[in-house]
Amino acid sequence: MEKEREVFHSVLSTQSSALSADAIHLDQVSFTYADTATPALRGVSLQVRQEEMIVIIGASGAGKSTLVKCLNRVIPAFQTGQLSGEVRLFGRRLVHEKVGELAGTVGMVFQDFEAQLFATTVRDEIIFGMEQLGVEQAEMQRRLDEALAQVGLAGFEARDPTTLSGGQKQRLAIAALLALRPQVLVLDEPTTDLDPQGRQEIFALLGQMRAAGHTLVLVEHELAAAAAADQVVLLSGGEVIAAGPPDHILPQIETLERYGVRPRDVDRLFRALGVNGCPHDVEGAVEVLRTSFTWNLSKDERTSQQDTRQQPFVLSPLRLCSGQASTSSRQAPSKHETQPASLPPLLHLQSVSHIYPGDSPAVCDVTLSIAEGEFVALLGQNGSGKTTLAKHLSGLLAPTQGQVFLRGQELRQVPLHKLAQEVSYVFQNPDHQLFADTVEEEVAFGPRNIGLGTAEVEVRVHEALTAVGLGPLRKSDPFLLGRGERQRLAVAALLALRPRVLILDEPTTGLDYTEQQRMMDLLRRLHREGRTIIIITHVPWVAVEYAERALLMAQGQLLWDGPLRGLCGQADLCARASFRPPDITLLGLRFGRTPLSVDEFVAWTRGNAERSFIPSEAKS
Amino acid sequence: MPLFLYLDRQSFVHRRHPLVKVLALLLFFIAAFVMEHPLFILPLSAGIGVLVLLSGSAPTLYRLRILFLFIGIFTTLIWSFFYGRGARLTALPFLPVTQEGILFGLGMATKLSTFLATSALFLSTTRIEEFAYAFTLLGLPYRISFTLTLAFRLVPLFVEAAFTVIQAQRCRGLDIHRGHLLQRLRHYVLVLIPVFMGALRRADQMAIALEVRGFNSGRPRTSYQRAPWQMGDALALLAALGVTAIYLGLWRAGYGRINVAG
């Protein structure tokens, strides 16, 4: 047996030179998890050639993770059930290999980078795997340096991984696998938990690895990386719905939407304008549009791209946060500060700074007001101070300097049971908030805490569960719900307190397109009913499609307080805070407009049709 | 919030081979253990104090100041009251306070504080991987020393999760610091459930992540040499051995004990 395995490894290494064999070959693979009736995979067949990149897309529960876990026998080793069909790696059929034995062949990166890092230094993190596989000291040092250089973490050897940013952590997880020299690298939603900056880092790294000849299997629930792939596979209900090169799959807008994947802005635009092509990125799309149309923009139009009706509030980024609060020269006050003086704003931060002990300021001298009934998006990359700021608005943190007011009363003087009915904060991870045995118990917890009677508690539970659409599941165990349902349950648990303000930290993280829309439509409905909604988000289209006002944070400072459209037009400001507007907006900016949706872009081109462009087909 | 005691410095103590640090820790424990009289333990305590200052670990001791105070006061008091031997200083029938008792109590307090300070010095200057490595060199099975490192690594994550859960409960009108003792205990359970469930989920994922990186690969392991043996290591080990030898010598010669008169 041992010998056979040794032979297997040597077979793998000799075969890697011959590009003829498929790296991965799945033949009619089906899998049903133990204790469930419906199969998670049904007769999946696919081939990945060496040095290819395949992107597997699909909604939550489509079977994406199940599929890739079959590649290194995590299924059925860790998650038991009925597995049938054939999995071949480099021509060799997998039968009873242990996961650890395949470590040098298939590397696997997961969404939750925290659960993949277990050392106290970057160096130890990377060495760990090599020690397990018996790599010699000199070779270990060489691979360590090489892996760090590859992911751009050279010089970080002695750093504690917990002090790294999300993107860096995920890159470290990848480096730890690269050091094992796997022939296939599987990445299961590696960018889901990252901010835009971190996502860019990972996508850039993927491009490099692809150029270096790695065989890559990428699982995503969105299409950002799909355009650069050799193959795209759309899964739903454990079955392959569509498979093929990206220019074949990405333009199938209806199919993608039906199976819970958000089509790219560019593909939707091209469809609406009747243009063919499947460019990799915004730059490619601009090229196609330039050659397909004659753009006849007047000088006037080029310059008047900005929404000048509102004077947003742009702060100088060079102020220092010192011991003495600088009540410094502030530019034009935002429109939100110019409401009638008789009514104090719902929430008001006055020169708020927050300094964690022994750290640089997380929030630095921020003054802002939020009026009843606003829908605000709090933007900025991880570590920019947006969560700290939001926690001040909900009284979870007290400022180290400055004051927070709720309807003119200082927040720290508002008793907890009253505060809970005014401002609610939904944490990013719903699992931090759920603990009861049933859905209804979970929702009833808050109302009971504030001392409501049984009858009233029942009314609140019913109301909150109906609002989030979980009424039929009220007797279920929260831990058995899907991620989207758990997220909505967390919202319901707070809605039961009937708060006037709901603050949500990344409400769409880990949700697929359908769940994201459902979550955001719920918030829109609550907003229309008169609640004030503040979301912290990394997802550009979520901010742009739903929120009215943007607060942009960078390095603890508020860089922008004003309408979203205005922000999207400020390219340098966006770049400074690593905020990337949606693709459609970036595309529009190249033509002198700031569209916030595909429809706006299309309407604009149609409105200017007679004088601004002639489709190239018509010319020829 | 930093929960590790480790302080990233470049001192003479930090640079010592982990094996030397583990052995020195044991040797200093033995030296302090054999003495009863506070005046005999104090030179060792002072020595540890110098190492603490030299290695820049003083902030760790400061962080543990409450613990030192607690140990100092309670040990002295308890032994003073219950030592029992020697001439009584009070007439209280149930509390036989004696001069020897007080001396013994002070000795115990010094001894325990020295243990604590030595451990704090060790943890401030040694990374988890380093002492796991040292334990492996001393013959502890790799799996056990690895489990040990993992435990140290996970505790801060769980504490962080607990703080988040407390905040989340606060949003739902629960102040865990209020109410009588029983209510508070119940509140802590409400915090522990999500933390515990999260820990289980994480453990599940971590097990997979470990095997993906070759844990259980079935191949012979190698060990990255984390610290080359240096001249300073030999000197440090000799010094620690010397100190302990002196202490053992004194102990054999009958010094450092508390003689009960009568």
Main-chain phi, psi angles of B145, to 5 degrees: -65, -30
pLDDT at position A127:
93
pLDDT at position B51:
95
A404-438 burial, b at 16+ Cβ within 10 Å, e below that, comes to: bbbeeeebeebebeebbbbbbbbbbbbbbbbbbee
pLDDT at position B189:
86
Q: Which residue has the higher pLDDT, A404 or B204?
A: A404
Q: How far apart are CA A95 and CA A320, in angstroms?
A: 62
Q: Which of B156, B175, B194 sits opposite A435 (nearest CB)?
A: B194
Determine, for residues A132 and B190 on separate chains, whether the beta-carbon distance falls below 8 Å: no
Judged by average pLDDT, the poorest of A288-297, A424-433, B41-50 is A288-297
**pLDDT tens, A11-62?**
444 444 444 579 999 999 999 999 888 999 999 999 999 999 999 999 988 9
pLDDT at position A325:
38
Pick left, alpha or beta for residue A275 (phi over 0 → left; psi -120 to 50 → alpha; otherwise beta). beta
Determine, for residues B219 and A99 on separate chains, whether the beta-carbon distance falls below 8 Å: no
- A347 near A502, Cβ under 8 Å? no
Name the burial class of residue B94, with classes exposed (0-12), middle (13-18) and buried (19+) by CB atoms within 10 angstroms of its CB.
Answer: exposed
Determine, for residues B213 and A394 on separate chains, whether the beta-carbon distance falls below 8 Å: no
- pTM value is 0.82
Name the burial class of residue B228, with classes exposed (0-12), middle (13-18) and buried (19+) by CB atoms within 10 angstroms of its CB.
Answer: exposed
Does the pLDDT at position B238 exceed 60? yes
pLDDT at position A372:
93
Q: Does A434 touch chain B (CB under 8 A)?
A: yes
Among the listed residues A246, A80, A119, the one whose alpha carbon sits nearest the alpha carbon of residue B132: A119
Q: If you average pLDDT over each of A193-197, A333-337, A609-613, B192-196, which comes out highest?
A: B192-196
Does the pLDDT at position A1 exceed 50? no
- Provide the residue count of chain A: 620
Main-chain phi, psi angles of A354, to 5 degrees: -135, 125
pLDDT at position A317:
41
Q: Does A456 touch chain B (CB under 8 A)?
A: no
**pLDDT tens, B156-187?**
788 888 988 998 888 888 887 777 888 888 88
pLDDT at position B261:
62
Among the listed residues A374, A367, A282, the one whose alpha carbon sits nearest the alpha carbon of residue A571: A282
For A391, nearest residue in chain B (alpha carbons) = B167
Residues in B touching A128 (Cβ below 8 Å): 213
Q: Does A602 touch chain B (CB under 8 A)?
A: no
Main-chain phi, psi angles of A464, to 5 degrees: -70, -40
Determine, for residues A129 and B214 on separate chains, whether the beta-carbon distance falls below 8 Å: yes
Residues 2-41 of A with CB under 8 A from B: 2, 5
Q: Does A147 touch chain B (CB under 8 A)?
A: no
Q: Which of A116, A127, A132 to mutate to test the interface with B (most CBs of B within 10 A)?
A: A132
DSSP calls for A83-119: EEEEEEETTEEPSS--TGGGTTTEEEE-S-GGGG---
Check whether the bond before A76 is cis (ω within 30° of 0): yes
Name the burial class of residue A360, with classes exposed (0-12), middle (13-18) and buried (19+) by CB atoms within 10 angstroms of its CB.
Answer: exposed
Q: What is the ipTM of this complex?
A: 0.79
Judged by average pLDDT, the poorest of A79-83, A260-264, B150-154, B197-201 is B150-154
Contacts of A295-301 spanning 24+ positions with Cβ under 8 A: A295/A591, A295/A612, A295/A613, A296/A608, A296/A611, A296/A612, A296/A613, A297/A591, A297/A592, A297/A612, A301/A592
**pLDDT tens, A306-349?**
444 444 455 444 444 544 333 333 333 444 444 445 678 999 99
pLDDT at position A295:
67
- A577 near A559, Cβ under 8 Å? yes
pLDDT at position A44:
96
- Measured between alpha carbons, how far is residue A185 from residues A28, A229, A283, A596, B194 in Å? 22, 14, 28, 36, 33
Whole-number average pLDDT of chain B: 88
CA A490 to chain B, closest CA, distance in angstroms equals 10
CA B161 to chain A, closest CA, distance in angstroms equals 7
- Provide the residue count of chain B: 262
Single-letter code of the amino acid located at A398: A
**pLDDT tens, A387-397?**
999 999 999 99
Q: Which of A107, A394, A427 sits opposite B164 (nearest CB)?
A: A427
Q: Which of B190, B212, B221 to mutate to test the interface with A (most CBs of A within 10 A)?
A: B212
Q: Does A288 touch chain B (CB under 8 A)?
A: no
Q: How far apart are CA A179 and CA A107, in angstroms?
A: 10
For B195, nearest residue in chain A (alpha carbons) = A432
Main-chain phi, psi angles of A348, to 5 degrees: -145, 130
CA A400 to chain B, closest CA, distance in angstroms equals 16
Q: How far apart are CA A333 and CA A335, in angstroms?
A: 7
**pLDDT tens, A471-530?**
899 999 998 888 889 999 999 999 999 999 999 999 998 888 998 998 999 999 999 999
Average pLDDT over residues A284-302: 71
Average pLDDT over residues B251-261: 85
**pLDDT tens, A242-255?**
999 999 999 999 99
Q: Which residue has the higher pLDDT, B45 or A578?
A: B45
pLDDT at position A104:
86
For A119, nearest residue in chain B (alpha carbons) = B153
Determine, for residues B171 and A128 on separate chains, whether the beta-carbon distance falls below 8 Å: no
pLDDT at position A4:
46
Residues in B touching A181 (Cβ below 8 Å): none
pLDDT at position A481:
86
- A259 contacts: CB under 8 Å, gap ≥ 6: A58, A59, A62, A234, A236, A241
Count of alpha carbons within 13 Å of A415, Cβ hemisphere only?
5
Residues 89-128 of A with CB under 8 A from B: 98-101, 103-104, 106-108, 110, 112, 114-116, 118-121, 124, 127-128
For B214, nearest residue in chain A (alpha carbons) = A100
Which secondary structure element, helix H or strand E, spans residue B197, and what is its range? Answer: helix B181-212
Q: Which residue has the higher pLDDT, A327 or A97?
A: A97
Q: Which of A134, A417, A425 sits opposite B220 (nearest CB)?
A: A134
**pLDDT tens, B49-103?**
999 999 999 999 999 999 999 999 999 988 888 887 777 777 677 777 888 888 9
Q: Does A449 touch chain B (CB under 8 A)?
A: yes
Q: Does A180 touch chain B (CB under 8 A)?
A: yes
**pLDDT tens, B207-236?**
889 999 988 888 888 888 777 888 999 999
Main-chain phi, psi angles of A345, to 5 degrees: -65, 160
pLDDT at position A527:
95
